[in-house]
Amino acid sequence: MFKSTYFNRSLICLIVTVVFLLHVAGRIEIPLLNKVENLVYDIRLSATTPGTIDPRIVILDLDEKSLAQEGRWPWSRDKLSFLVDILFDYYQIKVLGFDIVFAEPDTSSGLQLLETLQQNTLADNPQFNEVVNQIKPQLAFDEMFANSLKERDVVLSYYFNPNTNINPDSSLPKPVTSTQESPSSLIQANGYGANLAILQDAAEAGGYFNNDRVDSDGSYRRLPLLTSYNNEMYETLALAMYRKAMNITDIRFDYGEGYGEQKRLEAIVLDSLSVPVDKHAVALVPYRGKQGSFNYISATDVLSGLAPAELLTDKIVVFGATAAGILDLRTTPVQNIFPGVEVHANILSGMLDSNFKSKPDYMLGAEFLELLVLAALVIFLYPKLSSIQSIGIFSVLIVVMFSLNIYLWQTLNIDSILATPIIFLFILFLIQIYFGYFLETKKKNKLGKIFGQYIPKELVSEMSQSENDYTLKGESKEMTVLFSDVRGFTSISENMSPEDLCELINEILTPITQTIHQHQGTIDKYIGDAVMAFWGAPLDNENHAHQAVTSALAFTPVINEINNRFKEKDWPKIQMGIGLNTGTMNVGNMGSEFRMAYTIMGDAVNLGSRLEGLTKQYGVQIIVSETTKAATPDIAYLELDRVRVKGKEEPVSIYEPLGLIKALTSEELSSIEKLDNALSDYHQQNWKQAKSAFIALSELQPEKQLFKLYLVRIHEYLLTPPEDDWDGVFTHKSK
């Protein structure tokens, strides 16, 4: 039953994972996820916008007041010519950008009618021709406007469209030049709507204002900074104005590596400014806040000279409309009704501040990995947890994802999905809740009743997820046993009150037990201040020796923490001896009709106890047998001795574990080699060489009791050599 249940819920989780991965990769679309993700993006953006006015950029507003004072739009080009002149000559602005297209000739002056009369009806009237020629410059409004645009930092706007019909009188600005080859992934345009050639040629600079990357909900969250037309690059209005303002002629590109043979565009580089973009040169618009993030000045106030000079001098000016009927409205993350002219102003402001959010392509891999990690945690970890633990882990994951997302957004300016992984995790969590806490409750309860009184609850939970059947019947299997004992505990206890002694025991055994449980060990029993634990039952564990040794190594920081607390209470410092052995042991429910216990027995168990007793003699905290060492090849050991322990005839080699081999320093590895060489001389009865070697080792590590022990033995052997059949084994007479 368990196997099919686990398979079914894992299969469902995998199907959900694949669907979400395909959505993130753009292979399929889940509209609800896109909608929620856009909502989360808008909330983050609105919550983190500065909400201040950028005085460097001014909106020259074609507002209701201007229409009332100057007349309806479009204004005659002579008035626009005067507007440009007064902005540059009187107000001394830095750059002027028009968020308006001048696609048609200005016929309001009547010049065309006079020219028609001159060419046809009154062609032979010299007096009429002379008058026409005299007043013609005052009536050629397009030429007047063009003359005002010349040799000034003016950027005219235009737009690309999907049609190929082009007004023959219009003209695109000069394409963007770059010392690098233009990216092949730019958005391709088919047609355009542009300004009269006479105006565009005079202004030279131009930028498009249309957006080919409006989101499905109509919101302007991103905008392409470059577009390709007829194999040439063209720039958006804001980019063209920024380049004019900063006198930047060359555009460079930053390409990411690791995407196969084709490099992928990641940023547009303008001198010291690097604007993060996607492979299509699309950037996220860095909104400063709601409408009003820039100073608005009515166009009529500029024409009349009433506008405050300090608001315009040395400023970047964008001419746009907010008057009813000609207002260019957009939907944005910060406001549903937003003037389009401010979109360009916000991009300009972001360039001036070098403040852009980015959505780098490598984030797709990170988002993939995030979903895979969540899926792995839910599929493999959740079935092993209790309901409270699962809810706790779920809450922690939500907090971690939220915190990481905010960190990426606020600190690294990276936009990453948030709603999608949270919804994904919530769905997987519900699946696990259904299968884990409704269909498997009976099995957990049964195992809890049988083994709950003998083994850690962590193992009970793990056993409940296994398809194996567990009983209390005795069995023989290879396991690892651990004995630990507080040295000199009798003398410590003699000077303490019963209450303090009870508290001291609890303070020692609690963290030691936690450490054993963290390494999947089973507490067999407490024997006063001593702890007996084992690995390998009731749950099969191929790494029982490794986990036992790493658990023993983890005792060191735990004992240090205990001693720090004892020092504050003015209690004596403790030391602990630990012995480990790996071998065949009998395990099961053993005892009497009055009391039963799930425990282990056998010669291998007794040897573990004897090894713990030797730790004090060798001045080490941990001693393991040769069988434990053989079962843990990734751990480094110091060879201590070859001994016969009390009650056993067969000799056994004993070792002190130092830690994982890959974590050791070169000095530690060198010490192991030096000790091996010294022991080799010792076993070959090369006493003088062995003595010199152990003296050198003792000088390097004077606190090491082991080296002094061997120097004493060698001294005795030099005085009284061992018998000819000496096998190098030291026989211990006591436990």
pLDDT (0 to 100) of residue 1: 44
Amino acid at 390: S
Higher pLDDT, 596 or 534: 534
d(CA 512, CA 534): 13
Q: How confident is the model at residue 129 (pLDDT cuts 50, 70, 90)?
A: low
Place of tokens 């209790």: 386
360: which residues sit within 8 A by CB, 6+ positions away? 256, 266, 276, 414
606: which residues sit within 8 A by CB, 6+ positions away? 647, 648
C-alpha Rg value of the chain to the nearest Å: 42
pLDDT (0 to 100) of residue 7: 76
Burial (CB count <10 Å: 0-12, 13-18, 19+), residue 474: exposed
Q: Which of 592, 470, 574 is nearest to 522 (CA)?
A: 470
Tokens for 597? 């216990």
Q: Which of 270, 334, 310, 299 is nearest to 99 (CA)?
A: 299
pLDDT at 451 over 70: no
Q: Angle at CA 184, nearest 5°, toward 182 and 185?
A: 120
Higher pLDDT, 380 or 118: 380
Give domain limits for the chain.
Answer: 2-48+361-439, 57-353, 471-661, 665-735
Encode burial over 689-708: b for 16+ CB neighbours within 10 A, e otherwise.
Answer: ebbebbeebbeeeeebebbe
For residues 367 and 20, the answer to whether their CB atoms sit within 8 Å is no
Q: What is the pLDDT of residues 531-557, one digit of tens each?
A: 999 999 888 889 999 999 999 999 999
At residue 481, φ and ψ (nearest 5 deg) are: -110, 150
d(CA 245, CA 6): 64
How many angstroms separate the Cα of 517 from the Cα of each of 74, 455, 531, 604?
81, 9, 13, 22
673: which residues sit within 8 A by CB, 6+ positions away? none
For residues 735 and 483, the answer to whether their CB atoms sit within 8 Å is no
- 471-661 is a CATH 3.30.70.1230 domain: yes
Which residues are paired to 358 by β-bridges? 414
Encode burial over 379-414: b for 16+ CB neighbours within 10 A, e otherwise.
Answer: beebbbbbeeebeebbeebeeebeeebeebbeeeeb
For residues 610 and 579, the answer to whether their CB atoms sit within 8 Å is yes
pLDDT at 173 over 60: yes
Phi-psi region of 460 (alpha: psi -120 to 50; beta: other; left: phi over 0): alpha
The edge-to-edge listing of strands for the beta sheet with 264-270 is 252-256, 264-270, 273-276
What's the number of CA atoms in the CB half-sphere (13 Å) around residue 196?
14
Task: Describe the crossing of helices 126-139 and 141-149 by its angle, rounded to 10 degrees.
Answer: 40
For residues 142 and 199, the answer to whether their CB atoms sit within 8 Å is yes
For residues 579 and 611, the answer to whether their CB atoms sit within 8 Å is yes
For residues 300 and 64, the answer to whether their CB atoms sit within 8 Å is no
Amino acid at 672: I
CA 558 to chain centroid, in Å, comes to 32
Q: Minimum mean pLDDT among 239-243, 443-447, 475-479, 525-529: which range?
A: 443-447
Q: What is the pLDDT of residues 65-79, one digit of tens each?
A: 999 999 999 999 999
How many angstroms separate the Cα of 472 from the Cα of each of 1, 461, 594, 596, 686?
22, 17, 16, 10, 54
Q: How confident is the model at residue 36 (pLDDT cuts 50, 70, 90)?
A: very high
Burial (CB count <10 Å: 0-12, 13-18, 19+), residue 272: exposed
Q: How confident is the model at residue 212 (pLDDT cuts 50, 70, 90)?
A: confident
Q: How confident is the model at residue 304 (pLDDT cuts 50, 70, 90)?
A: very high
d(CA 322, CA 294): 14
Q: Minimum mean pLDDT among 156-160, 198-202, 361-365, 412-416: which range?
A: 361-365
In the chain, pLDDT over 70 holds for what percent of residues? 88
Q: How confident is the model at residue 165 (pLDDT cuts 50, 70, 90)?
A: low
Give one DSSP letter per residue of 149-210, joined into a string.
HTTS-EEEEEEEES-----TTEE--PPB--SSPPPTTSEEP-EEE-EEHHHHHHH-EEEE--
pLDDT (0 to 100) of residue 339: 92
For residues 237 and 209, the answer to whether their CB atoms sit within 8 Å is yes
pLDDT (0 to 100) of residue 458: 64
Across the chain, what does the average pLDDT equal? 88
Q: Strand pairing of 316-321 and 57-62? A: parallel
Determine the straight-line distance between the first and last CA of the chain, rounded to whole angstroms: 50
pLDDT at 386 over 80: no
Place of tokens 């026409």: 132
Q: Which of 115, 253, 107, 90 is nearest to 183 (CA)?
A: 253
Place of tokens 């006198």: 247
d(CA 596, CA 374): 43
Tokens for 144? 């007047």
Q: Which of 471, 442, 440, 468 is nearest to 454 (CA)?
A: 471
pLDDT (0 to 100) of residue 2: 46
The H-or-E segment that residue 136 falls in is helix 126-139
CA 569 to chain centroid, in Å, comes to 43
pLDDT at 174 over 90: yes
Task: Describe the crossing of helices 362-376 and 419-438 by its angle, rounded to 10 degrees.
Answer: 10
pLDDT (0 to 100) of residue 465: 57
For residues 51 and 288, the answer to whether their CB atoms sit within 8 Å is yes
